[in-house]
Structure 1
Amino acid sequence: MADGDPLIPPSAVDVDLSAVAWDSNRSMSDFETGMWRMEEAQPQLRSPIVAVDVLDRAPDWDRLVQAHEWASHIVPRIRMRAVEPALHLGNPVWSVDPEFDLGYHLRRVRLPAPADFDHALRMCRHLATEPFDKARPPWCALLIEGLDDGRAVYVVKTHHSITDGLGGIAMMTLLHSRRPDHTPDKPDREPPPPEHLSTVDAFGEETIGELRRIPGRLVRLARLGVNVATAALTRPIDTATDVLGYANSLRRIATPPASSGSPLLRNRGLGRWFGVLEVGVPELKAAGHAAGGSLNDAYVATLLGGFRRYHEELGQPVHSIPMGMPVSMRSGSDPTVGNRFAAVRFNGPVAEPDPAALVRRVRRIVLGLREEPALDAVELAAPVLSRLPTYLLANWYLSQSTGLDLQASNVAGVPVPVYLAGARIERMYPFGPAPGCAVMATLVSHVGVCCIGVNIDTAAVTQPARLMRCLQESLDEMVALGAATEGTER
C-alpha cells in the first residue's frame, strides 16, 4: 500500500541530472541483502517485480534500444551487478558490470498467429519464473509483438533488491515520454566506466564503509540515550507510556495472524499464473466512499470478496484468511532506488457477504495498522537478521510468508498519457513478488484506470481461472455499490 499523489513523469528534456541521486548507496541495505541471499537457500523466496505495459502498437525498436541506453547513463544502477564480499562478510556491493551488454537484458519476440493478450501474459509469467543470472545486473526487459489486434506488450523484470514497487514505477517513467515524437535534445551524460571489482575488493570496501559508519552510529546512539534519559527525568510517566506503547505495538506486529490459513491454499510451489483486473479510478473511489472508506479499502475488500466466493464454490468456506500488506515508508528525500517499506499482517475478514460492511471492517483494520509505532521493527532488526546464516534466515522468512494466503499492495501510478518509443501505453499492470504467499495482488493507477495484477502460486490456487472469475464478480459487486449510492444521491 502506498500513499501520496500519482507520479507525474518528467519530460525527457526536463530531467535534472544534478538531482538524480538514485545510486547514492554503493552497498545493499541489510534488508535488501536478506532478499538477495535468501532465494539461494529457498527458491520459493525469489522476489522479482514485474511490470507489464500494454501498447497500442509496436514501438520503434531502434528508439526503444536508444531509450534504454540513455536510461543506463542517467541511472548507473541499470549497468551494475551485485558483487558479494569474500565469505559473505558484509553486504553485496553494487559495481558497474565490466561486460555490460544491453542486448542481453533487452530482447524482442514475435508471437505466432493467432495471438492475443493472454498469450503475451503467459510469456510474461514464464519470464517472471526464470531466475536471474546474478553475475549480471538483475533486470531484463522483453518486447512482445505479433498480437492479432496490432497491439504489443512490453514487460520489465527487476530484482526486489534494486527497488520497491514505488521506486520501480518511478524508474520506469524515465523510459516514458509525454509525447509520441522523438526527443533529440534530451540531456545526457557519459555512461559510468566499467569496474573490475572482485569479492576481495568488495570485502575491503564494505569493511572501510562499516568503519566509516561506526562514528555516526555511535553519535546517534548517544543522542538517543541522552534523549531517553532526559525524557525519563522530565516526563517519567509519558516516557513509560511511550515505551509500553511501543512494546505492545511490537508484540502486535510480530505476532502472526490468528487465522491458521485456508485448507485450500496450504501448498506452496514455484509455479506462477498471472491474471488482470481493471476498473475506473472514479468507480472504485465511489465504492469506497459509499461505505465510508477509501479507494484502497474498496480494493482490499474486493479481493476478500473474491476469496469468499472461491472458497464457497469449492465447498470449503472460511471465516478469515491471514494476509499481509506492504506500507510505504518513503519520504520525499528518499532516493528512488532502494527499498523503503514495512509489512503488516492481519486477519482478512473473508466471511462478510455485505460489500459495504466489508469495506468498513477493512478500513478499521488498515487505519489501526498504519498507526502502529513499531512499523519500522523489521528495518531496525535487519542488521541482526542479515548476519544470520542464509539457510536459517531463509527458513525463518519462509515460515512467516507461507502463513499468508494473500498480500495486497497499492502503488501510485501515472495520471497522464505516456508513450514508449512512439507507442501509447494503454495499460500498466504490476505483478508484485509472491515469496511464499498464495496470492499477491498489486494495484497501479494509470490514466484514470486501476490496473490490478494478480500473481498466483499455482500450488496453492489449483484453479486460478476460477479465482480470477470470483475476483471479477466481487469487483463488479463493489462497482455496483458505488453506482447505487451515487444514483441515490442524485
Structure 2
Amino acid sequence: MGDGDPLIPPSAVDVDLSAIAWGADRTMSDFETGMWRMEEAQPQLRSPIVAVEVLDHAPDWDRLVEAHEWASHIVPRIRMRAVEPALHLGNPVWSVDPEFDLGYHLRRVRLPAPADFDHALRMCRHLATEPFDKARPPWNALLIEGLDDGRAVYVVKTHHSITDGLGGIQMMTLLHSRRPDHTPDKPDRRPAPPEHLSTVDAFNEEALNELKRTPGRLARLVRGATDLATSAIVRPFDTAAEVLGYANSLRRIVTPPAREGSPLLRTRGLGRWFGVLEVGVPELKAAGHAAGGSLNDAYVATLLGGFRRYHEELGRPVESIPMGMPISMRTDSDPSGGNRFAAVRFNGPVAEPDPAARVRQVRKIVLGLREEPALDALDLAAPVLSRLPTYVLANWYLSQSTGLDLQASNVAGVPVPVYLAGAKIERMFPFGPAPGCAAMATLVSHVGVCCIGINLDTAAITKPTLLMRCLQESLDEMVALGAATEGV
C-alpha cells in the first residue's frame, strides 16, 4: 500500500527469459499456507484476488488464447497446482499439473442484449464467489463480450496464496503489450513438463526443503541473540529501551482497535457485491496535498467520508470504525510474485465532516503505523500459526478479521497505454479479498486514473447502492478540496 512507483510493462520482444522469476518459490510460505488451508474450515475466509479490465472492444480470441499459452510457458506457476504433503505435515508444494487444460481456466461468454458494464460486473462478482477447484492451478480468466457500447470486459481471478496485489499486477503485465499489433517474434520457451507429484512426494520434498531452511533460520537466530547480548553488555540501557519499545509496538500491532465495529455492519456472510469509483491521479494527489497529505491519505479519507455519510443516511452515526490496511514490505531485491506485506489495524476517523481535517487525521495515523518496529510480527509468527490445526487457525483469524469494518489497499499500476490481444485496456479495477471484513477497497492507478474497486459483504452492507452513492459524494467533495486550493 502507498504511493509506490507505477509499473512500466516491458514490450513482449524485450522480455528477458532468464530474468523472469515470478512465483519462483517451490513451496508456499507459512503465511500463504495459512491462507490456503483456512478456507476449508471457514468459507468466509476465501481469498480470491480479482482484476477486471475494461477493453475498448472485444480482443481477438485466438490471440488471447495464444497470449495465455505463451504466458504459461514464461511463468511456470500458471501451470502449477498445490499438492498437500501427507497428513499436512509441511507446507503445500507447487507442482506442474499433469492434466493442465487452458480451456478450463480461460473462457468466454456473450451477454444477452441489452447489456452494460454493470451486467458484466455482476458476472465478475459471481466468478469471484465460486470456490477454486484445488486439484487444479488456482486461477481463472473470463472474457465477457456483448456490451451495448461495443466494449468488452476481461476478468482474472487468482488465489491469494499465489500472490499479493502487487505481484498480481506484475503477472498481468506479462499479458499486456505496449502496442496493439501482434508480436510474432517474442521470445518463448518450452512449457514446464508435467509432474505426477503425490502427497507422499510432496511430504518428502517439503521435508528436504525444511532441512535446507533450518541452518539459515538457526544462523539468523544465533546472530540475533549474539547481537542482542553484545548490545546488552555495551549499551545496556539503550538495549533495554529497544526491547521495551519493540514489546510496546508488538502490543499495538496485535491488539485489535479499541472501538467495536459499527452496529450497522456487524453481520457477516458469503454474499459479495462489486462497485467501482474512478478519479484522476492528479486530482486525488491535489486533494491530498491541499491538506498536507498524500494521494493515499486522500483516498483513505474519502472512504471514511463515504462511511460517515452512509451511517448518517441510515440514522446511525458513529465516531469511528475499525479498519485494516496492508502495507507492502517488498524491496527492489524481492522476486516477483508471492506475498510480502504486513497488516495493520486502527480506528478510522469517520465522524470528522471536514475533508481536509480528515486527511490530516489519516496521515498522522498512517505515518505512525509505518514506523512501528513490530510491523513484521505476523510474518515472524507465521511458522507457528501455520502449524496450528486448521480449524483453530481459521477461527482465530476469523475472530480478528470480522472485527474490521473496512480494509483499504493501494497498489501501483501501469502509467502507459497497454493492450490485450489488440484491444486497448481503458480501465483496470481491482477487487481485493474481503475475508471476514465488511468492505474491502482497492485502488490501482492506470494511465493517470485511480481505479477503485469496492468488494462488499452483503450481509454487512445491506444497502450497497446507497454506500456507493455516499462514497461518490465523498470523492466529489475530496476532488473539490484539491480544485479549490489549486485555484487560489
TM-score when scaled to structure 1?
0.99
Aligned-partner Cα distance in 2 for 1:88–1:15 = 38
2:396 corresponds to 1:396: yes
Aligned-partner Cα distance in 1 for 2:25–2:198 = 18
Q: Which residue of 1 aligns with 2:314?
A: 314
2:415 corresponds to 1:415: yes
Quick check: 1:2–1:166 contact (8 Å CA) kept in 2? no
Q: Which residue of 1 aligns with 2:441?
A: 441
Quick check: 1:402–1:437 contact (8 Å CA) kept in 2? yes
Q: What does 1:55-454 correspond to in 2, within 5 Å?
A: 55-454=55-454
Evaluate the alpha carbon distance shift between residue 61 and residue 322 of structure 1 in structure 2; reply closer, same or farther with a 3 A threshold.
same
**Gapped runs of 5+ residues in structure 1?**
none
For 2:238, the aligned partner's letter is: D
Evaluate the alpha carbon distance shift between residue 283 and residue 23 of structure 1 in structure 2; reply closer, same or farther with a 3 A threshold.
closer
Secondary structure in structure 1 of the residue aligned to 2:131 = coil
Cα offsets for 1:386-413 (capped at 9, x unmatched): 0000000000000000000000000000
Aligned-partner Cα distance in 1 for 2:65–2:37 = 31
Once structures 1 and 2 are overlaid, which stretch shifts more, 329-338 or 114-123? 329-338
Q: Which residue of 2 aligns with 1:487?
A: 487
Secondary structure in structure 2 of the residue aligned to 1:326 = strand
Q: What does 1:446-465 correspond to in 2, within 5 Å?
A: 446-465=446-465
Secondary structure in structure 1 of the residue aligned to 2:376 = helix
Once structures 1 and 2 are overlaid, which stretch shifts more, 175-184 or 214-223? 214-223
TM-superposed CA distance for 1:4, in Å, is: 2.1
Once structures 1 and 2 are overlaid, which stretch shifts more, 277-286 or 220-229? 220-229
Aligned-partner Cα distance in 2 for 1:261–1:247 = 26
TM-superposed CA distance for 1:23, in Å, is: 3.6
Quick check: 1:60–1:421 contact (8 Å CA) kept in 2? yes
Aligned-partner Cα distance in 2 for 1:138–1:210 = 24
Quick check: 2:53–2:429 contact (8 Å CA) kept in 1? yes
Cα offsets for 1:68-105 (capped at 9, x unmatched): 00000111000000000000000000000000000000
Cα offsets for 1:37-57 (capped at 9, x unmatched): 000000000000000000000
Aligned-partner Cα distance in 2 for 1:297–1:23 = 31
For 1:21, the aligned partner's letter is: A
2:16 corresponds to 1:12: no
Secondary structure in structure 2 of the residue aligned to 1:373 = coil
For 1:100, the aligned partner's letter is: F
TM-superposed CA distance for 1:183, in Å, is: 0.6
Identity %: 88
Quick check: 2:3–2:296 contact (8 Å CA) kept in 1? no
Evaluate the alpha carbon distance shift between residue 485 and residue 23 of structure 1 in structure 2; reply closer, same or farther with a 3 A threshold.
closer
2:44 corresponds to 1:44: yes
Aligned-partner Cα distance in 1 for 2:3–2:282 = 17
Q: Which residue of 1 aligns with 2:466?
A: 466
For 2:40, the aligned partner's letter is: E
Q: What does 1:13-28 correspond to in 2, within 5 Å?
A: 13-28=13-28
Secondary structure in structure 1 of the residue aligned to 2:365 = helix
Aligned-partner Cα distance in 2 for 1:158–1:469 = 29
TM-superposed CA distance for 1:217, in Å, is: 1.5
TM-superposed CA distance for 1:418, in Å, is: 0.3
For 2:155, the aligned partner's letter is: V
Quick check: 1:3–1:328 contact (8 Å CA) kept in 2? no
Evaluate the alpha carbon distance shift between residue 157 and residue 136 of structure 1 in structure 2; reply closer, same or farther with a 3 A threshold.
same
For 2:447, the aligned partner's letter is: V
Quick check: 2:4–2:411 contact (8 Å CA) kept in 1? no
Cα offsets for 1:215-264 (capped at 9, x unmatched): 12121111112111111111212211111110000000011001101000
Quick check: 2:22–2:171 contact (8 Å CA) kept in 1? no
Secondary structure in structure 2 of the residue aligned to 1:374 = coil
Aligned-partner Cα distance in 2 for 1:465–1:189 = 48
Once structures 1 and 2 are overlaid, which stretch shifts more, 45-54 or 329-338? 329-338
TM-superposed CA distance for 1:24, in Å, is: 2.5
Aligned-partner Cα distance in 2 for 1:254–1:308 = 26
TM-superposed CA distance for 1:3, in Å, is: 4.2
For 2:437, the aligned partner's letter is: C
Number of matched residues? 488
Aligned-partner Cα distance in 2 for 1:335–1:154 = 26
For 1:477, the aligned partner's letter is: E
Cα offsets for 1:129-181 (capped at 9, x unmatched): 00000000000000000000000000000000000000000100000000000
Secondary structure in structure 2 of the residue aligned to 1:480 = helix
Aligned-partner Cα distance in 1 for 2:420–2:372 = 40
Aligned-partner Cα distance in 1 for 2:397–2:185 = 48
TM-superposed CA distance for 1:336, in Å, is: 1.3
TM-superposed CA distance for 1:123, in Å, is: 0.1
Aligned-partner Cα distance in 2 for 1:58–1:217 = 51
Aligned-partner Cα distance in 1 for 2:478–2:324 = 21
Quick check: 1:439–1:454 contact (8 Å CA) kept in 2? yes
TM-score when scaled to structure 2?
0.99
Once structures 1 and 2 are overlaid, which stretch shifts more, 334-343 or 34-43? 334-343
Cα offsets for 1:282-335 (capped at 9, x unmatched): 000000001000000000000000000000000000000000000000011112
